[in-house]
């Protein structure tokens, strides 16, 4: 088996400033199934950077033992632009300082262009149809024009991942339990991965909006399947998931080694790697709808004092935190209880304890869709 490491240059943003993207390849190019991993697209989300190192060690071992059947691509540092953004001594990686916005939004949508190219060319063989669409995808993305550094980065990441069978985008939240985002129609795959990782929540959506990376990889297949239904079978050929590897401070070798081992066992179960993964653990949770996540928002500025801890079960109407105003209001009037509208699991909390009006600070995963949560606007800024 061959392994190679590629270093791609991003456009130089100033004379003497040249960032690069390092990509590790395992297995024969074109071998199937293909898995793709990237870490820290939001740059200042460090747990994935460490998990990627453990993954690389596991893949090196698998390669040494001749156990790589398919192809595995790992981008251990997905956002060198964000990783170089410091302000007043702090790393800030979620938004591009160049004003192109959130690094995990606005990935190109190639659905319509690819559809035009493959229409009338499908057969009754789903495998051949998938290969035809992937070839068209590669061509469309290669022909697209990108100049800005962050746009080139996004197109490069997508070009590495878009023809994969499995895509893992490794993120984290502020303070959080391990959880996944995936498409509603890929519930079984998401549930199996969640069981492997011991995920506390699996959040499923039909249309999150914002074109994040996982959606840009997996979402088009649903459209192609439906739009081409009269011409030939098109399966959902890409399972893509955002894996939230707990909170920003949850960086330790114990968790990272276990997470990487779980991801590698998933690859074994799906035939990317050879070897016995053992029995699949019992799921720690049932999948719930992303539009059932109550996202609590601070109504005013103040200090946030949590009443509930991560992992607590809460009930609709229950106060999760108090917002304490600070300018000398009478005692009693200075505290506002902030309540959830759903029964569910307290899944994430913001790290900040001083909040501003409109700041989202906590997520509670409930079973029932919430009326204020709108398809197409399910992600935060
Ligand atoms: Zn993130």
Measured in Å, residue 128 CA sits from the centre of ligand 1 at 35
Say whether 80 sits in a helix, a strand or coil: coil
Measured in Å, residue 154 CA sits from the centre of ligand 1 at 14
Measured in Å, residue 77 CA sits from the centre of ligand 1 at 13
Measured in Å, residue 216 CA sits from the centre of ligand 1 at 15
Residues with CB under 5 A from ligand 1 (ion): 42, 171
Measured in Å, residue 119 CA sits from the centre of ligand 1 at 36
Measured in Å, residue 78 CA sits from the centre of ligand 1 at 11
331 burial via Cβ count (<10 Å: 0-12, 13-18, 19+): exposed
Measured in Å, residue 172 CA sits from the centre of ligand 1 at 6
Measured in Å, residue 192 CA sits from the centre of ligand 1 at 22
Measured in Å, residue 42 CA sits from the centre of ligand 1 at 5
| Six-digit token string for 258 | 């276990």
Distance CA 263, CA 201 (A): 16
| Overall size of the chain counted in residues | 381
pLDDT tens for each residue of the chain, 381 residues long: 457 999 999 999 999 999 999 999 999 999 999 999 999 999 999 999 999 999 999 999 999 999 999 999 999 999 999 999 999 999 999 999 999 999 999 999 999 999 999 999 999 999 999 999 999 999 999 998 899 999 999 999 999 999 999 999 999 999 999 999 999 999 999 999 999 999 999 999 988 899 999 999 999 999 999 999 999 999 999 999 999 999 999 999 999 999 999 999 999 999 999 999 999 999 999 999 999 999 999 999 999 999 999 999 999 999 999 999 998 777 667 899 999 999 999 999 999 999 999 999 999 999 999 999 988 888 878
- Domains of the chain in start order, with CATH, are 3-286 (3.40.630.10), 291-366 (2.40.50.100)
Measured in Å, residue 295 CA sits from the centre of ligand 1 at 16
Measured in Å, residue 173 CA sits from the centre of ligand 1 at 6
Among candidates 190, 181, 191, which has minimal Cα distance to 282?
191
Distance CA 198, CA 179 (A): 9
């Amino acid at each position: 088996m061959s392994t190679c490491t590629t270093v791609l240059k991003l456009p130089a943003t100033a004379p003497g400033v040249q960032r690069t993207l390092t990509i590790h390849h395992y297995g024969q190019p074109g071998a199937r199934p293909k898995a793709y991993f990237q870490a820290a697209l939001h740059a200042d989300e460090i747990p994935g950077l460490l998990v990627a190192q453990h993954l690389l060690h596991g893949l090196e071992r698998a390669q040494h033992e001749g156990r790589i059947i398919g192809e595995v691509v790992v981008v251990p540092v997905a956002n060198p632009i964000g990783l170089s953004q410091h302000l007043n001594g702090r790393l800030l990686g979620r938004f591009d300082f160049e004003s192109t916005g959130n690094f995990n939004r606005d990935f190109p949508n190639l659905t319509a262009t690819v559809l035009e190219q493959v229409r009338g060319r499908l057969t009754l063989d789903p495998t051949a149809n998938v290969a035809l669409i992937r070839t068209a995808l590669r061509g469309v993305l290669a022909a697209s024009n990108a100049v800005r550094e962050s746009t080139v980065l996004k197109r490069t990441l997508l070009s590495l991942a878009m023809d994969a069978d499995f895509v893992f985008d490794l993120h984290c939240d502020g303070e959080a339990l391990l959880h996944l985002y995936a498409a509603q129609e890929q519930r079984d795959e998401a549930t199996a991965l969640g069981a492997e990782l011991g995920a506390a929540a699996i959040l499923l959506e039909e249309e999150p909006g914002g074109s994040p990376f996982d959606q840009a990889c997996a979402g088009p297949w649903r459209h192609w399947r439906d739009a081409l239904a009269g011409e030939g079978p098109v399966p959902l050929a890409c399972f893509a998931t955002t894996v939230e590897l707990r909170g920003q401070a949850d960086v330790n070798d114990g968790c990272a080694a276990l997470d990487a081992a779980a991801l590698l066992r998933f690859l074994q179960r799906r035939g990317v790697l050879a070897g016995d993964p053992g029995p699949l653990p019992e799921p720690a949770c049932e999948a719930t709808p992303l539009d059932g996540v109550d996202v609590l928002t601070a109504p005013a500025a103040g200090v946030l004092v949590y009443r509930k801890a991560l992992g607590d079960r809460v009930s609709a109407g229950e106060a999760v935190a108090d917002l304490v105003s600070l300018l000398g209001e009478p005692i009693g009037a200075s505290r506002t209880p902030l309540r959830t509208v759903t029964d569910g699991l307290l899944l994430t909390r913001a790290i900040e304890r001083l909040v501003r009006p409109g700041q989202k600070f906590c997520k509670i995963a409930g079973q029932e869709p919430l009326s204020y949560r709108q398809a197409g606007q399910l992600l935060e800024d």
